[in-house]
Structure 1
Amino acid sequence: MYTIGNVYVIAAVAVVGGALFGFDISSMSAIISTKAYLCYFNQGPQYLDTDGQCSGPTANVQGGITASMPGGSWLGALVSGYISDMLGRKKAIQVGSVIWCIGSIIVCASQNIPMLIVGRIINGFSVGICSAQVPVYITEIAPPSKRGRLVGCQQWAITWGILIMFYISYGCSYINGTAAFRVPWGLQMLPAMFLFGAMLFLPESPRWLARKDRWEEAVQVLALVHAKGDPNSPFVHKEMAEIREVVEFERANSDVTYFELLKPNMINRTHIGVFCQIWSQLTGMNVMMYYITYIFTMAGLGSNVLLPSSIQFIINVVMTIPALLFVDRWGRRPTMLVGAFLMMVWLFINAGLLATYGKVPYKNQFPSAAESISITGAPAKAVIACTYLFVASYAPTWGPVSWIYPPELYPLRVRGKAVALSTSANWIFNFALAYFVPPAFANIRWKVYIVFGVFCFAMFVHVLFLFPETSQKPLEEVEEIFDDSTPGSIRFLGTPAWKTHVDTHARRMERGELDAEDKFGHEASHDERSPARVDEQVPKAE
């Protein structure tokens, strides 16, 4: 039935949906400072300096152009929960890939700013679907000990998408005329076409199949992915037993709505998932990605801004690798705490440098009003260095963990819509910040860095007291963390976040070291140790 069972291959294909977001980021950041873009979408009075540049869109309009993609992503993320629950995680991702191709055609053919914005909104709708449901799909199909690494590949794919499209856009910047931006905007359809075709050969989420009473298929998928086709594997048996227990419990309830996520037993984890995504935006990282050419132009790099800007994209790709290798061992909490602290340091240093050594540029020194500070010499090099260090701090911490963490928090019944809600929070703040930054640089200049530095301090405190550890815990066992009826728990919160730790039990279970004992060291029941076929113990589809 399914031809691909290697969990790494499955993740590698699925996270191409994340690469679409990366393609969009760099296709905009690498193009907004080019002559072809500035002159074709020019709004201000045209002037000629030594490079013959046009002024391009106004700061407010450029903010709107950039923000249109995350605006569409917000809506796409919300809708994705319904699509995913009805059609399945796999088909939801395929729907997103088709929508991406439609948006890319409109963007590529844009004749004016309104047409460009419409195309980017449609592209964003696609990214919203894929960014919400790819982590859900991988979370539900991956073994607990590899879950963080595999879901983190979503962020790695984003960084690769940014890097690849940036260099495509950089190469195309030497083309005369509108082809300089139409070619890269057209080429970004290719990964979506690959994603749609490759997903045909991947299995569906076993947890979604079980929820739809397709038990035999669920067993086949678990056996294929986790036990090389052996349905009698102890790990497959344990996973199916837990899935069956959860599904049977949830069957007595009606279909979930978004309002259920606000009930007392769910509100805490809803707020954690939503703020995990909000904080990942309030670090300012995506702002750095969208407007890096503005920052480096202000630092005196002039017409040579694109290649130095690309260094941070390389750093982003390379520094994500440690998280993929070690995030399951490090845990989610320490990773987020270290990242927030380091990013806060680099942001405050940049603010101090720009406030002390920055000057108001002379008239027409820079093509955009958002490029409102001029800094040169050693302080300018320090600003560039801190920008690189900021990226190196985000890439192995909040970058991957913001995608890994939310899908782990929720029970199966609400996971699709809950992750859609948390991802929509990511996109609405992405939208707000993408729109906010150009006029913010134009008006409050270096204080923009102070704003994001304060956000990083706030997220450090928030994670310290309220974000529990979920690393290596089976999804069904994460429920216990939020149970406020257990001894030592806090009402509405469950186990205090600072008392939770990485659970190495799952890794031992996968290796077969605990197949005869439960996680408390007690002897397992006869049913749990039984070598009987799993498909004889699960309900048959009617």
Structure 2
Amino acid sequence: MAWKGNSISPTLLFTTGLLVLSAFNYGFSDQAFSSGQAMDSFARQFGVYHPKTDTWKVKPLFTSLFNSLKAGGQLIGVFIGGYVSNTYGRRMCVFSMNVYALGSAAVLISSTTVAQIQAGRVLHYVYLGMQLAVIPTALTELAPAQVRGGICVLYWLSIKVGGLVVTSIARGTSSIQTDAAWRIPFGLILVVPSIVLSLIWFTPESPRWLLLRDRHAEALESLVRLRPKDASKEQTEADFQDLSDKVAVQLQKKQFRDLFTRQNRRRTFIVVACNFFQQATGQAFASQYGTLFVKQLKSINPFSVTLGINAIDIGAICVSALSIDKVGRRALFHVSSSFQTIALMTMGGLGTADSSDMDAKKGIVAMLMLFSFSWSLGWAPLVYVLGAELPASPLREKTLQIAYTVKLVTEFAVTFSYPYLETADTPHHVYLGGKLGFIYGSLSAVAFVFGWFFIPETRRLELEDIDKKFVLPKEGVVALETAADKEVNIEERTTE
């Protein structure tokens, strides 16, 4: 939705803020679980006592299942969220998932057995899967083209801020010797859903969603609410007609098989591959097991490191949000992949040092932090931006369901396998330590090559105009817009 001028309506600010607040609870929940499992009181509640060492430890199988089965719950949530969002609207999906969140969080807070805590986390990730299905899409549909990248990056920024807040809380409660140490962070998960539920019906529905359902009068009303107060009636109606015409062209693309037509299969491949590489380069290892990984090294306070990583990530995302609509998506992807590869390969090299070398351990922690910064600069937020931008509007939910399935299966593989690579005192397990960097670093290098050859530039283009980048000429070759043509088109649109 393009408009002249620099002002943004209070309604758009309010709607964007509420969606971003909902995303805050994604990071808050995720890091509450990550930090909670590293607490001694958590191990006493759900672990096994070892008389020889007089310690409580959770079994590696519990750790694997606790951090990987959630992917199944999240995948279910993606499909449920996609169906509700597509059938009943973005607002209804946000409303229903937050109602559900109150129940799933209650299960977690009251957990006393291994089965209950495992089931509680799986159930809660249905809610987070629904978030994944609706929040990036809603933000993309509502944002003006000239600032769409920055607004969509706010999704990941909010997730990281949520993680930073709960990590700070967990660092403070970790010294408590009772179950309150982890129950307090878990209990605070209830706050955001309560706020979102009370405010969501004050926001307008997505005009694009309404147009795709042939509800033109409601779409116009919604667009008027989202426009700045200084926008003229004539300009609003002209923009609405332009949007209606573009959406009408896409209405014929509705079937699942349309994802793989000659015009759409390239964009489907790009979105799916981006989601694969986002997880295959090891982010789940860093985010889900970062605290445990540092704890195994026995070098630096793991909660302090996790707190530092979240703060660094927020800085990287702020840089991404401020630069994405200026330098473009491709440049950030390339820089992100380059530094990820350097950090992970260096971590692998340091992992070959003697296990008693404290400087090497500190170096591994430093490379973990550099990796997390690099990932948050590009691959973390921009995959969601491209995932919402590239598919044709009627096919967006279907494309993202396939892409998120690949993403979550890959995340499952990383999270399930990690404990078996970090528990040397268990039969048939190995201890790789920092050498894990060689595995993820190699995949990061492949991700760089993929990004260089396949990821297109979409900055400042309206969603419907992105279709032009995938137009098929008679010869059947995808005609991508050249950089010169792109800049000319941008200038024409901004000077009309």
Residue equivalent to 1:107: 108
Pair 1:435-2:416 in alignment: yes
Mapping of 1:305-454 within 5 angstroms? 305-357=302-354, 359=355, 375-442=356-423, 443=430, 445=432, 446-454=434-442
Match of 1:495 in 2: 480
Give how far 1:350 is off.
Answer: 0.5
Equivalences for residues 30-41 of structure 1 within 5 A: 30-41=35-46
Identical columns (%): 21
Q: Compute the displacement of 1:321 (Å).
A: 0.5
Displacement of 1:237 in angstroms is 4.4
* Contact 2:160–2:314 (8 Å) recurs in 1: yes
Summarize the alignment of residues 80-95 of structure 1 with structure 2, pairs less than 5 Å apart: 80-95=81-96
Alignment of 1:215-226 (within 5 A): 215-226=216-227
CA deviation after TM superposition for structure 1 residue 53, in Å: 3.3
2:163, 2:70 → 1: CA distance? 15
Residue equivalent to 1:284: 282
Whether the aligned pair in 2 keeps the contact of 1:353 and 1:379 (CA below 8 Å) is: yes
- The residue number in structure 2 matching 1:244 is 244
C-alpha contact 1:107 1:185 (8 A) present in aligned 2: yes
- CA apart distance, 1:276: 1.4
Matched letter for residue 463 of structure 1 = G
The DSSP-based 3-state class of the residue aligned with 1:395 is helix
Residue type matched to 1:249 in 2? V
Amino acid at match of 2:244: R
Q: CA deviation at 1:238?
A: 5.1
TM-score (norm 1): 0.83
Q: Deviations over 1:392-425 (max 9, x none)?
A: 2122211211111111101221123322332333
Q: Please, which moves more after superposition, 34-43 or 423-432?
A: 423-432
Point out the structure with max Rg over C-alpha: 1
Letter in 2 for 1:495: L
* Alpha-carbon distance in 2 for matches of 1:298, 1:116: 23
Write out per-residue CA displacement over residues 492-535 of structure 1, whole angstroms, 9 at most, x where no aligned residue: x4428x8688658558746xx31xxxxxxxxxxxxxxxxxxxxx
TM-score, normalising length from structure 2? 0.90
Shift of 1:226: 3.0
Change (3 A) 1:136 1:266: same
Deviation at residue 337 of structure 1 after TM alignment: 1.2
Residue 54 of structure 1: how far off its partner (Å): 1.0
Checking the alignment, whether the CA contact within 8 Å between 2:299 and 2:362 is kept in structure 1 is no
Residues 369-393 of structure 1, C-alpha deviation per residue, up to 9 Å, x if partnerless?
Answer: xxxxxx5422122112111111221
1-structure distance, mates of 2:52, 2:239: 67
Q: What SS class does the counterpart of residue 54 from structure 1 fall into?
A: strand
Unaligned runs of 5+ in 1: 360-374, 515-542
- Contact kept, 8 Å, 1:152 with 1:323, in 2: the verdict is yes
Return the offset for 1:345.
0.4
Structure 2 counterparts to residues 140-289 of structure 1, below 5 A: 140-228=141-229, 230=231, 232=233, 234=235, 236-237=236-237, 239-251=239-251, 256-289=254-287
- Most deviating of 466-475 and 239-248: 239-248
8 Å contact kept, 2:75–2:408: yes
* Corresponding position of 1:363: none
Moved more, 448-457 or 424-433: 424-433
Task: Output the amino acid matched with 1:316.
Answer: D
Where does residue 53 of structure 1 map in the other structure?
55
**Residues 428 and 257 from structure 1, CA distance in 2 versus in 1: closer, same or farther, beyond 3 angstroms?**
farther
Q: What RMSD over aligned residues (CA atoms) do the two structures have, in Å?
A: 2.4
- Alpha-carbon separation, structure 2, partners of 1:444 and 1:257: 48
Q: Which runs of 5+ in 2 are unaligned?
A: 1-8, 424-429
Q: Is the 8 A contact 2:14 2:203 kept in 1?
A: no
User: Partner amino acid for 1:46?
Assistant: H
Report the Cα offset of residue 233 of structure 1: 5.2
1:233 and 1:164, CA in 2 relative to 1: closer, same or farther beyond 3 A?
farther
Deviation at 1:455, TM superposition (A): 0.9
Kept in 2: contact 1:30–1:293 (CA 8 A): yes
* Count of residue pairs brought into register by the alignment: 481
* Further displaced range: 12-21 or 345-354: 12-21
* Kept in 2: contact 1:16–1:192 (CA 8 A): no
1:224-256 deviations in Å (ceiling 9; x for gaps):
32332745353x445423332234334456xx3
* Counterparts in 2 of 1:130 and 1:229: CA distance versus 1, 3 Å: farther
The structure that is helix-richer by fraction is 2
CA distance in 1, matches of 2:400, 2:416: 24
